[in-house]
Amino acid sequence: MTTNYQVMNPYSQELLGEYQYDSWHKVEEKVQLLKQGRRTLRDIPAFRRAEILRRLAELMEERAEQLAELITRETGKTISDSRVEMTRAINAAIASAEEARQISGESLDSDAYAPARGKIGVVCWRPLGTILCITPFNFPINIALHKIGPAFAAGNSILFKPGPQNTASSQLLVDLCHEAGIPREVLQLSVPELKDMAALVTHADISAVNFTGGTAAANAIADAAGYKKLLLELGGNDPLIVMPDGNLPAAVAASINQRFATAGQRCTAAKRLFVHTEVYDEFRELLVKESAALKVGDPMEDDTFVGPVIHQAAANEIRQRIEDAIEKGATVALGNQYEGALVYPTILENVAVDCDLMVEETFGPVMPLCRFDNVEDIVPLINNTAYGLQAGVFTQNLGVMRYLFEELDVGTLATNDGPGFRTEHFPFGGVKESGVGREGIKYAIREMSYVKTLVI
């Protein structure tokens, strides 16, 4: 017996739809269909996969506003944010099309080491099989394209499991994929019940799992996956550092855009700000002034900057962490206001280094502001977290850039930008509990392929 679930608008609490979880029988049918799809893919050459992905980009562009509105209704993110998401998703489809044509191996001469054997090794990349792609609520179309695009470009069949909140937008995306030319036996959408997810991960006909989400779910996937290939893009507690020679207006703009946009619900959000004493007061004044002017409210209005978080329980957790920080000595420079699932942009000072806001990932629009004298002193504080995704620094000093690049436990350091910097063709991923493997279209294709060698 299957159960139903409802999708609610986080801002208005309007019922958007009621859906049925896939039964295990239905999941099994889709997995077997995708297994058959692997043979279909053998007859779809790389140039044809590229053409299909390019057509998908065109279809997404035609339906971009419809998809953006669906994203906003489902997640509560602002319509302006959702439109940016669609631009990036279209870019991901285009990049996947281009990289599908560029998958190349190498040839190796066996005589490089004695004894001479007179052989040549032809090294090729081949698809893994069927990829289980699991996406979170916050970027339902963009993250989906960063998985579906390279998985298909590499020649894999795909079982796409979105967050239940994103059922309507995800179904429209899959419909467009099929319309573009991806065969139904190559791409299927499924939303199983949570109790069936372990069995799905362990299924013999699932070759790999590409997951974006939280650490607890990733741990459960890793425990169940055995020897399957895993690509895990997890959370972050990303720092933004402002040095005395940094461009303060640019640093303030990056802080606001990369912490308060999407209501702070980004793995790469600037979750901790470290500002040098020499510019702290000037930076703080400008940051508070500009943050206070942000419009909070209805995410469907073009000028709204901060909409609700995904649901009331998430808002309650954010509020609890803010209150915990205040109890431990933090002071409120801005915010600490709430209306249902709306959390107003909040800036805290004097935050204890061991409270959850500093050590754990907080998915919400709250910014701890920390003063420092020497950059060497903040490296242990920044590294004192289970995560290591990205970091940003504003400085003109190449020595500082190189020092932080070597010392910070992160996958990427962005200079004169925030930790939220990402573009489709750069590698993306972290260290420690921020994940395993790398996304970024070219790199994701490699993650969802294996090396096969012909010796002749």
Question: Helix/strand/coil (H, E, C) string of 127-159?
Answer: ECCEEEEECCCCCCCHHHHHHHHHHHHCCCEEE
Q: Please give the pLDDT value at position 260.
A: 98
Summarised one tens digit per residue, pLDDT across range 329-383 is: 999 999 999 999 999 999 999 999 999 999 999 999 999 999 999 999 999 999 9
Tokens 């703009």 -> residue: 253
Summarised one tens digit per residue, pLDDT across range 43-68 is: 999 999 999 999 999 999 999 999 99
Query: Is residue 272's pLDDT more than 70?
Result: yes
Mean pLDDT score across all residues of the chain: 97
For residue 2, name the pLDDT band (cuts at 50, 70, 90): confident
Query: Is residue 1's pLDDT more than 90?
Result: no
Nearest to 368 by CA among 397, 338, 346, 343: 346
Q: Please give the pLDDT value at position 117.
A: 86
| pTM, entire model | 0.96
CB within 8 A of 189, min separation 6: which ones? 160, 161, 162, 170, 171, 174
The pLDDT of 185-208, averaged and rounded, is: 97
Catalytic residue among 85, 99, 233, 433: 233
CB within 8 A of 256, min separation 6: which ones? 287, 290, 291, 294, 345
For residue 225, name the pLDDT band (cuts at 50, 70, 90): very high
Residue 317's φ and ψ, nearest 5 degrees, are -65, -40
Residue 434's φ and ψ, nearest 5 degrees, are -85, 0
Distance CA 342, CA 254 (A): 22
Sign of the four-CA dihedral 190, 194, 195, 200 = positive
106 is catalytic: no
Structural domains in the chain, sorted by start = 4-234+434-455 (3.40.605.10), 239-423 (3.40.309.10)
Query: Is residue 12's pLDDT more than 70?
Result: yes
The percent of residues in the chain predicted with pLDDT above 70, rounded, is 100
Q: Please give the pLDDT value at position 337.
A: 97
Summarised one tens digit per residue, pLDDT across range 105-124 is: 999 999 999 987 899 999 99
Nearest to 435 by CA among 392, 388, 390: 388
